[in-house]
Amino acid sequence: MKLLTIAILFGMMTSGILMAADKDKADANHTDSQLAQLYLLQAAFHRAASVHDTVHGDSAEEIDQRIRQILSLWAEEGELTLSAGSPLDGNYIGRGDPDDPSTCPAPSNNPANQGTLCTLYKYVAGSFQPQNKFISLSPSYKTHFQIDGETATVYFECHYFDVSTDPTTGDPSWTAVNHIAFDGSARRIGGQWLLWQANAPKVGVPIP
């Protein structure tokens, strides 16, 4: 009887240990999956912020599509504070719609509320201006995510290069034009990670 009791207790302990191990593994897998989604979110951001036709430049239709793509990565209530040393620095509040001038107005020149995120990308961000052929690169060693439930801190850098053709070589010039950080947060809404808030200051050359 005593041996039977010991065997039962041992079995219960083993089962508990296995269940705890399974839970830890499931939690780790869940975290890895969420981190992967955040990396994909960041990659989509840089894809939208980069010219697609490096030879001729993007058409107005392509630029409009890229603006829609980058806006789709933000929550409806998203907010970014630009601190790049530009006259158009300030707060850009709410997502906005390129087809609706009331939600995508020109910058107000009031730093407290310059307009919406649509305002930022349509009128301010250099990579969306038709005369520019900018590529956005982000070093992986400068990228950080920290997940806490349904929110995450987000940090990455956007290093913009002009890839216009150098007439002396016929190759892209790869001239550095701007270095900006995204220092903010994301939220998981309806099972999807979306950018929520950010400060966007200038940063230096990304030295490891």
Q: Which tens digits make up the pLDDT trace of 26-36? A: 545 668 999 99
pLDDT at 1: 65
- Alpha-carbon distance of 144 to 171, in angstroms, equals 33
Q: pLDDT band at residue 17, thresholds of 50, 70 and 90?
A: low
| pLDDT more than 90, % of the chain | 83
- Give me the phi and psi of 135, to 5 degrees please: -115, 135
- The one-character DSSP state at 120 is I
pTM: 0.85
Q: In this model, does residue 7 exceed pLDDT 70?
A: no
Closest by alpha carbon to 170, among 57, 59, 55?
55
Judge whether residue 121 has pLDDT over 60.
Answer: yes
Does position 24 have pLDDT exceeding 60, yes or no?
no
Q: Tell me if 45 sits within 8 A of 74, measured CB to CB.
A: no
Where do the structural domains in the chain lie, given as residue ranges?
A: 2-201
Q: Domain 2-201 belongs to what architecture?
A: Roll (3.10)
Note the pLDDT tens digit of each residue in 151-188: 999 999 999 999 999 999 999 999 999 999 999 999 99
Confidence of residue 206 (pLDDT cuts 50, 70, 90): confident
CB 206 within 8 A of CB 139: yes
Tokens of 138: 């982000």
pLDDT in tens, 72-110: 999 999 999 999 999 999 999 999 999 999 999 999 999
Q: Which two tokens stand for residue 54?
A: 């490096």
